[in-house]
Amino acid sequence: MDRYILRKEDVNRWVEALARTQEVLAPTRVEKEIFFAPTQTAVDLNLLSGTATLPYLPAKDLVLPHSENLFHFTRKGGDYELTVPEEKKTAVVLGIRSCDTSGIYWLDKFYQENFSDCYYWRRRNNLILVTMACNQPVKNCFCVCCEGGPFLDSERDEFDIQLVDLQDSYLVECKSSKGKALIEANPKLFAKADPSAVKTREALEEKSRNSFQPDPTSYMSTAIRRITSNAVTPETWTELGEKCFDCGGCAFVCPCCSCFGVGYLNEGEKGCHYRFWDSCDYSGFTREVSGHNPRGEKGERFKRRFFHKLSYQYLKRDGRIGCVGCGRCITACPGEVGMPTVVERLRK
Amino acid sequence: MFVRTQDGEARGVIPSTTHPVSQGRLCHRGWNRFQNLRSVNRLVKPLVREGEGMKETGWNEALKLSGEKIKDLIGRHGPESIGVIGSPWLSNEDNYLVSLLARQVIGTKNLDGSYRFGAAAALSALNQLFGEGIGAVGSIPALKESPAVLVVGRDAHRDFSPVGSRVVQAFQQGAQIILADASAAKADHFYKTLIPVPADRLPAALAAKRDIPLGILDLLGKPGAGLVFVADQLGPSASALALINYLIERRASAKDLPNLLALSRSPNLRGAWDLGIRPPAGGLNLEEMLAPESKVKGLLVFAEDLSVHLPKADLLEKLKKLDFVLWAGRFKNDTAQLAHVVLPLPLFAESEGTLTSCEGRIQLSRPALSPRGESRGLSEVLPELAQALGKSLPGGPAAAIRKEIGKAVPGYEKITGPEVESEAGALLAPPRLASAPPKSAALPVLESADKFLLLIPNTLYAWERNRMIAESPVLYIEYQAERPALKMNLQDAKDFKFRPGEKAKIRSERGELQVALQADEGVPRRTLVLSSHFLNLVESVAGKGEIDPVTRSVYFPSLLVTVEKA
Amino acid sequence: MSNIYLPNLARIIKIQDETYDTKTFEFEFADPKVKQAFKFGPGQFLEISALGVGEAPFGLASNPNRPETFRVTLRAVGAVTWALHQKRIGDLVGIRGPFGNGFPFDEYKGKNIIFVGGGIGLPPLRSLIEPMLDARSAFKDFLILYGARTPADQVYQDRLKEWEKMSEIRFGMTVDVGDANWKGNVGVVTTLFPKCNLIVENTVVFVCGPPIMIRFAIMELSKLGFKPENIVSTLERYMKCGVGKCGHCAIGHKYVCVDGPVFNYKEIGKLPEKS
């Protein structure tokens, strides 16, 4: 791994240079909400590295958008012509937080199991992720309980680039060849980091890890054990399920939720099939055409969601639990029954 | 809420995290909103009737033809032969123009909305209590601080996420939450008390303090206490008035009013009502316009699939026989099928306009998409139609129409101000209780040891919403189509030894009915539920229903019935 | 990168009415290269789409030894099957697949074989029955039992008659409710068990049919001493992608589309929720 120092006053010069050859997406306020939006220059440094909140949607949205067209068809006499929509060029995602990067790693693994999902991978392969380590967690954060942050592990994680805010400058940790290319194209902006910067980095990570509020999610392992051994009673699931509004919001904002549905449109001689985020909270998720629904009960659907997120069976399959601790489900849930609340309840 | 687009198509949505009501949360309809924006069942061109079918035509031809038909009817039968139907699925600006079209251009007093058969009862009650400009009678954010909330109907919680989420938050802060619902066998975790009586009988049950610990009723008199109900399901106006009065009378101090949230599944119920979509004195309401003996010959229907809203079969027959029906809307539906002229309108997401929420919050909706096909907004179309009738109407951009509204509509002065353009929108003035609020007698609680209580919930108010559901692949399977059956408690069905699908015979003082049974664990013991949209079934057992003297419209009260095997 | 979500077009070359609401369609891929490359195993399924209307999974119901053309049998119950039922010979549909684990054919060699099919549950078994009959000598005792609600609900009536005449297999048929012409057994399919001298040792039983029939068949088979691992069935779930990604068909950590649809009852018993 290479380590450099990038002075804050040089950030926009770097962005400008990168934007000449590819799209640069940085956290940007659009109508007050934060999105990863194309940036030519003048990155909002406070959104990039401050304790500002996460974008409402995880960066999953860049690789698995809310909906995307799979193919279009045109009827020509008795025949059909099928076309797959084009996808755009490479982009650098600047300022993605470690929880979202971890979420994308989870999706990477999932979307290459059995076969490569071409819609996912043609987006994913075009992205270079420049992760911003979090020096200060905010209210809903619990990544520290889920190995989702606050810093990516410089030894273990195969990231492109990780930035650490050292006040006047960033420590730039660079691992992959994709990441290195971003540095090598602009070598003048990057100075080699000296060992003291690494020391500071370690101190910052330690400090950040210690500044999470005491949180019920430290019982994550208990919840995992109880779900894995099927020790949670149906009554508990029903009780939790009753709090759920079936809105699907938690799944949509979850960096690790990957389920989708497919819609079909047909207008005259043309049409398309498109896929969209779906949620196992919906009763229609498993309802069969006959009306039979193997997961018709609220509690069973709730169990399903958390079995997928936290059971050892999935942990073994996916290499990590299906939660990165970003806390977005807390924001999105009208029933106040996000991950920490559930984990706390399952502990008992 | 924001619609996200790509290549001119809706591809996703996200809630606003900074809006005081939504706070980053949506319901399942909200989250899947982009799907129905992609619907392929949209009207894209004006259509005119040609024999049995419809023919595409241009806007000029369609408006010219409409003008001629309307002029002809006025010439032969006078302006009162025309009826005009506005809609809670139109913006304030559009409803204002529809109202002017009726009153000033055509000169008819026959003006109404399809909420005549539902929410008009509750809104009339609010009018009686607070005068013409009802004002900001409720606050969703403030619900969180309530000491006690009375929720009428369990749907009011999950189906309206921002409200439900405040109810949950209030519960977490120690508030007492009471559910009144006769069709719920049990209540969700945060309800302290379940009052198992239908909404129309609720005031009597409260007065008799049935099933309710006294301390809780006292809390309903504390400042900030909330009453949450679905406006379309509160029964006749007298019941709505008695219920609201109950809370007003219990309040400890004269200056505090209860937090009243009259929810609706239509996005602009309050706006349509406030902007005058109801008959002025001497005008016919929708039911009277379509009564068999009515002299109305032509109906101009805006944005509402009227044919599926009608609570009586003879109203539908009349609608089909009218000399002229103009339908302006978004989707290919049953009303478009029977119209003589069809005009395609853009959806909210395709046009600019303000909506007034149940709180009395005026909010601006900005277009995220361009209008589908050749659809055009009413602010362009209605001035042209007025011209075809030899009159004029204000038109132009939505902001210009808002200026007119600010001058003309009581309580809507703020609609022109900068607040409307802000994210939180502009709240109407606080409500002012009329000096002598009217009283009303409540319906008695129905009780009988040997009979079943038949509930006929009003389901005839949300069909535009049902259309939006049908146009989304997620929601389409989420909401299963209801079967024309009578719901009965599972254990009761077992006691009767009813086999699945077997028919029951139910008999009331008004009639009798043989109908397939559907056993349902969610229904309480000795209770039956039959949705009001199964018109023929409902009329067999409930006869012609009752007429609400305030709304001058039909409603079906709950009944006592006997049950036997058919 | 190949696009697993993009269907190949296939032409309907034959339509056979089975019952009043069930038809068998025979397809062949429009693209000769696709046709040539196409292979499938017994018990696998296809995702078939009426373009613009919808897509749904259907078990292959023909002999995998002859993959040039292939058949599915489908009952009109929802939007997709309804749209497919409206199609005529020569029309094109979209097909993806084959998907699923399928039956491990070779593992059954040297064993006694029992098929228990009910109504529309026979088609998926047929993709296994036919290749087994092609290699009849590889298996020992061979018994097919088929039950339908009424004689009019029987699928593959011509083939049933052939099976009845075959000397190398044992075959039993029953209906829940007979009609004037029905001379055979009346009663649910399990009523055939006592009449057929079922061999328990070294036997695999394949069960497929409506959920209630499966439940009773399993109950009876267990009573007779069949072990769960020797009772094999195919599960059905609401499905979208067919490749383990959309999440709809997951039961516990198993995906019916990838880990199934073929499961034995030992595996099904281990799942953490109802199958």
**DSSP states of B406-421 as a string?**
HHHSTT-GGGGSGGGG
Cβ under 8 Å to B: A residues 175-214:
none
Asked whether residue B466 falls in the same domain as residue B552, the answer is yes
**Interface residue of C5, C8, C257, C271 to substitute, partner A, most A CBs within 10 Å:** C5
CB contact under 8 A, A278 and C274: no
Asked whether residue B203 falls in the same domain as residue B284, the answer is no
Asked whether residue B272 falls in the same domain as residue B256, the answer is no
Please tell me the number of Cα atoms within 13 Å of A147 on its side-chain side: 12
Using a CB-CB cut-off of 8 Å, the residues of chain B touching A276 are: 12, 32, 35, 473-474
- Which residue spans of chain C are classified as CATH 3.40.50.80? 105-234
| Partner A contacted by C224 (CB < 8 A) | no
Question: CA B32, CA B16: separation in Å to the nearest integer?
Answer: 15
Instruction: Give CA separation, B461 vs B180, B230, B305, B466, B544, in Å.
Output: 20, 11, 10, 10, 18
| pLDDT the model gives residue C16 | 95
Q: Where are the domains of chain A?
A: 2-210, 216-347
Question: CA B237, CA C196: separation in Å to the nearest integer?
Answer: 71
Instruction: Write down how long chain C is.
Output: 275
pLDDT per residue over A313-327, tens digit each? 888 888 889 999 999
CB contact under 8 A, C246 and A259: yes
Q: Are C233 and C205 in contact (CB under 8 A)?
A: no
Read off the pLDDT band of B336 (50, 70, 90).
very high
pLDDT per residue over B206-261, tens digit each? 888 766 777 788 888 899 999 999 998 888 999 999 999 999 988 878 788 999 99
**One-letter amino acid of B497:** K
Is residue A270 classed as helix, strand or coil in its secondary structure? Answer: strand
Domain that holds residue B9: 1-38
Question: CA C210, CA C203: separation in Å to the nearest integer?
Answer: 23
Q: Tell me: pLDDT of C267 over 70.
A: yes
| Partner A contacted by C246 (CB < 8 A) | yes
Question: CA A58, CA A101: separation in Å to the nearest integer?
Answer: 9
Query: What is the DSSP annotation of B297-348?
Result: -EEEEESS-GGGT-SSHHHHHHHHH-SEEEEEESB--HHHHH-SEEEE---G
pLDDT per residue over C96-119, tens digit each? 989 999 999 999 999 999 999 999
Asked whether residue B108 falls in the same domain as residue B148, the answer is no
Read off the pLDDT band of C5 (50, 70, 90).
very high
Give the lowest-confidence range in A171-185, A255-269, A283-297, C96-110: A283-297
Asked whether residue B90 falls in the same domain as residue B146, the answer is no
Question: CA C54, CA B473: separation in Å to the nearest integer?
Answer: 10
How many structural domains is chain B composed of? Answer: 4
DSSP strands (E only) in B341-482: 341-344, 353-356, 361-365, 426-427, 452-455
Q: Tell me: pLDDT of A40 over 90.
A: no
| Partner A contacted by B17 (CB < 8 A) | yes
Which chain A residue is nearest to residue B481, measuring alpha carbons? Answer: A291
Read off the pLDDT band of A218 (50, 70, 90).
low
**Interface residue of A276, A288, A329, A344 to substitute, partner B, most B CBs within 10 Å:** A276
Q: Tell me: pLDDT of C11 over 90.
A: yes
Q: Tell me: pLDDT of A41 over 90.
A: no
Instruction: Give CA separation, B147 vs A317, B188, B281, B411, in Å.
Output: 48, 18, 41, 29
> Which residue, chain included where needed, has tokens 């074989």?
C113
Using a CB-CB cut-off of 8 Å, the residues of chain A touching C243 are: 114-115
Nearest 5°: CA angle at B340, between B334 and B341?
95
Is residue B505 classed as helix, strand or coil in its secondary structure? Answer: strand
Question: CA B173, CA B546: separation in Å to the nearest integer?
Answer: 42
pLDDT per residue over B280-294, tens digit each? 999 999 999 999 999
pLDDT per residue over C217-251, tens digit each? 999 999 999 999 999 999 888 889 888 899 999 99
Backbone angles phi, psi at B51, to 5 degrees: 65, -130
Give domain status of residue B296, yes or no: yes
Q: Are B89 and B365 in contact (CB under 8 A)?
A: no
| pLDDT the model gives residue A294 | 86
Which pair of tokens denotes residue C36?
């040539």
Q: Backbone dihedral region of B209: left (phi > 0), alpha (psi from -120 to 50 degrees) or beta?
A: left
Cβ under 8 Å to A: B residues 426-445:
none
- What CA dihedral angle connects B372, B377, B380 and B382, to 10 degrees? 130
Q: Which is it for the CA torsion B523, B528, B532, B536, positive or negative? A: positive
Average pLDDT, rounded, for chain B: 91
Question: CA C99, CA C92: separation in Å to the nearest integer?
Answer: 20
Which chain A residue is nearest to residue B156, measuring alpha carbons? Answer: A245
Considering only CA atoms, which of C139, C84, C69, C131 is closest in space to residue C109? C139
Question: CA B448, CA B427: separation in Å to the nearest integer?
Answer: 46
| pLDDT the model gives residue A215 | 60
Q: Are B292 and B265 in contact (CB under 8 A)?
A: no
| pLDDT the model gives residue B209 | 78
Give domain status of residue B196, yes or no: yes
Q: Are B141 and B163 in contact (CB under 8 A)?
A: no
CB contact under 8 A, A334 and B473: no
Strand-pair category, C22-29 with C70-75:
antiparallel
Q: Tell me: pLDDT of A73 over 70.
A: yes
Query: What is the DSSP annotation of C86-140?
Result: T--TT-EEEEEEEES----GGGGTTSEEEEEEEGGGHHHHHHHHHHHHHTGGGSS
| pLDDT the model gives residue C1 | 67
Question: CA A301, CA A279: separation in Å to the nearest integer?
Answer: 10
Which residues make Cβ contacts (< 8 Å) with residue A138, sequence separation at least 6? A51, A53, A327
**One-letter amino acid of A125:** N
Asked whether residue B346 falls in the same domain as residue B316, the answer is yes
For the domain made up of C8-99, give the CATH fold.
Answer: Elongation Factor Tu (Ef-tu); domain 3 (2.40.30)
Question: CA B129, CA B454: separation in Å to the nearest integer?
Answer: 31
Q: Tell me: pLDDT of B563 over 60.
A: yes
| pLDDT the model gives residue B500 | 76
CATH number (domain holding residue B315): 3.40.50.740
Read off the pLDDT band of B505 (50, 70, 90).
very high
Average the pLDDT over C139-162 and give the result. Answer: 94
Considering only CA atoms, which of B28, B38, B30, B43 is closest in space to residue B5? B38
Using a CB-CB cut-off of 8 Å, the residues of chain A touching C3 are: 84, 118-119
Asked whether residue B46 falls in the same domain as residue B106, the answer is yes
Q: Residue B510 gets which letter from DSSP?
A: S
- What CA dihedral angle connects A72, A77, A78 and A79, to 10 degrees? -40
Average the pLDDT over B102-121 and give the result. Answer: 95
- Choosing from B392, B427, B462, the residue where a domain stops is B427
Peptide bond into C98 cis (omega under 30): yes
Considering only CA atoms, which of C238, C236, C274, B476 is closest in space to residue A286? C238
Asked whether residue B259 falls in the same domain as residue B173, the answer is yes
Read off the pLDDT band of B424 (50, 70, 90).
very high
By the 10 Å C-beta count (0-12 exposed, 13-18 middle, 19+ buried), B397 is classed as exposed
Question: CA B170, CA B164: separation in Å to the nearest integer?
Answer: 10
For the domain made up of C105-234, give the CATH fold.
Answer: Rossmann fold (3.40.50)
Question: CA C240, CA B24: separation in Å to the nearest integer?
Answer: 29
Which chain A residue is nearest to residue C5, measuring alpha carbons? Answer: A70
Give domain status of residue B124, yes or no: no
Q: Tell me: pLDDT of C130 over 80.
A: yes
- Which residue spans of chain C are classified as CATH 2.40.30.10? 8-99
Peptide bond into A150 cis (omega under 30): yes
**One-letter amino acid of B364:** L
Report how far Cα B428 is from the mean position of its chain's Cα atoms. 20
Asked whether residue B150 falls in the same domain as residue B103, the answer is no
Give the lowest-confidence range in A62-71, A112-121, A162-171, A181-190: A112-121
Read off the pLDDT band of C274 (50, 70, 90).
low
Asked whether residue B320 falls in the same domain as residue B461, the answer is no
Cα diameter, chain A = 72
Q: Residue C247 gets which letter from DSSP?
A: -
Which pair of tokens denotes residue C15?
């339509």
Quote the ipTM score. 0.93
Which pair of tokens denotes residue A181?
């290319």
CATH number (domain holding residue B143): 3.40.228.10
Nearest by CB to A283, from B30, B35, B478: name it. B478
Which pair of tokens denotes residue B388?
């075809």
Q: Tell me: pLDDT of B492 over 90.
A: yes
Strand-pair category, B82-86 with B53-56:
unpaired
Backbone angles phi, psi at B106, to 5 degrees: -85, -35
Question: CA C216, CA B251: separation in Å to the nearest integer?
Answer: 63
Question: CA B129, CA B116: separation in Å to the nearest integer?
Answer: 19
Read off the pLDDT band of A156 (50, 70, 90).
confident
Cβ under 8 Å to A: B residues 143-172:
157-158, 161-162, 164-165, 168-169, 172
**One-letter amino acid of A318:** D
Report how far Cα A98 is from the mean position of its chain's Cα atoms. 9
Q: Tell me: pLDDT of A217 over 80.
A: no
CB contact under 8 A, A248 and B32: yes
Asked whether residue B418 falls in the same domain as residue B527, the answer is no
Q: Percent of chain B having pLDDT more than 70?
A: 100
Asked whether residue B423 falls in the same domain as residue B276, the answer is yes
Give the lowest-confidence range in A316-325, A331-340, B431-440, C44-53: B431-440
Give the lowest-confidence range in A96-100, A212-216, B225-229, C149-153: A212-216
| pLDDT the model gives residue B329 | 95
